[in-house]
Amino acid sequence: MQKFILKIVGFSLFLTLALYGAKYVMPNFEIVPFYFFSIGFFMLLTILVYSMLIKGLQKGNNKFIYAFYFTTIIRLFGSIVVLLVYFLANGRKNLYEAVVFIILYFLFTAFEIVNLFPILRPEIKENQNK
């Protein structure tokens, strides 16, 4: 788990630097504090989801599947709530902010899956041999 946390912190730092790089590529791109909040939110959410999935995997394949579905729903609806609360509280309707949030959602989800896949690989091979 510590290795995963180090990886996700590095990934989050990389994304933060990428946001600053985007400002040079797109002159109209404005860096707002919500982007940094979003990176922190997704980093913590991904750590929580990853740990729940690892615990589910240790309890067996069926528990892992239920944990995967549960965490996917929690991640999706939690993200929607955060985005809605932000826009309702600030009264801002900036398309860039919504697009960056959604891109971060998919990037952190992909990061989690890429890091889970090597752990799941032995389970997949066992099921194919049965």
Global confidence as pTM = 0.82
Q: Please state, in angstroms and rounded to a whole number, the distance separating the CA atoms of residues 115 and 121.
A: 11
What DSSP state is assigned to residue 40? H
In tens, the pLDDT along 5-19 reads 999 999 999 999 988
% of the chain beyond a pLDDT of 70:
92
Phi-psi region of 29 (alpha: psi -120 to 50; beta: other; left: phi over 0): beta
Cβ–Cβ under 8 Å, residues 38 and 45: no
